[in-house]
Amino acid sequence: MIIVTGGAGFIGSNLVLGLNTIGRDDILVIDDLTDGTKFRNLVDCRIMDYWDIEQLTTALLKKESFREKVDMVFHQGACSTTTEWNGRYMMQNNYEYSKQLLHFCLENTIPFIYASSGSVYGVNEKFKEVERNESPVNVYGYSKYLFDSYVRRIAKNTNSQVVGLRYFNVYGPREAHKQSMASVIYHLNRQLLSSGEVKIFRGSGHYADGEQRRDFIHVDDVVAVNLWFFQQPGAPGIYNVGTGKSRSFNEIARTVIKWHGKGKIEYIDFPENLKNSYQNFTEADISSLRNAGYQQGFKTLEEGINQYLNWLNN
């Protein structure tokens, strides 16, 4: 049996589908369906069972065993709202829960692959997986940073595979429920359909209007990295998961406009509440991932956006 936490979410549900494609449907999905719209992400997935997150946390605290042997835990469940400032909630949901699940896996020698984030680097221009580059600027990033630090301290003394994957800006199908946290591609598509315009931020830092740059990666590529580590049990560690190439918001806007064959760009003022906690630039250093043996390519931004827009609009 494979456990996927956050399995009804964006990356989690795509991962469940990816596991289905390699013949695994003995999957226990863990999630919180308070937002019932997320059920749509599971309709075409083949799973063995579904548990609410409280069922799992209760089982972990009571040290209950599962009826089926657990082969792997993919921990994708977290609060991913980067503008959430309730630190107590964030640390309980993203940090304490992750520690409980980690220790369950270590105690039972179960491989553990979990979602970290490129947000741990904060406002930076160096994105190598070393502590001197890590300086998160919001409590979401801090929750991920702290768990990565915890893993570094204890995982080196264990016999289980523990892999942390630092996702950069992921986009693709099944993210609509994320609302404001959905990718810029999702939002620009909706804006263009409703008004004929796409809206992106004016300049910030030393970047001109719309020239802020991020490392955007299609969710299919994220799933491919997860599945590779699933099939490579000898490669523990913390790894960046991005394309290794930053692209500007202007390039995204132009690609969306080109796909629709119409539209124009409107630049809007940069929000005051984001000025001190916004990453104007990200670009994953993927040398560790390559050195671990992952050699598959990544979709170009244009390939990924066109594929996603075909899915969104058809």
Catalytic positions are 140, 178
Q: Are 145 and 118 in contact (CB under 8 A)?
A: no
Spatial distance between the Cα atoms of 31 and 270, rounded to a whole number of angstroms = 34
* Torsion angle (degrees, nearest 10) of CA 35, 40, 42, 44: 180
Strands (E) across the chain are located at 2-5, 27-31, 49-52, 72-75, 112-117, 162-167, 169-171, 197-201, 213-214, 216-218, 237-241, 247-248, 264-268
Pairing verdict, β 27-31 and 2-5: parallel
How far is the first Cα of the chain from the last one, in angstroms, to the nearest whole number?
Answer: 34
Within 29-169, where are the H helices? 53-61, 87-90, 97-107, 139-155
Look up residue 136 and give its two tokens.
């998160």
Q: Are 243 and 221 in contact (CB under 8 A)?
A: yes
Look up residue 133 and give its two tokens.
């580059």
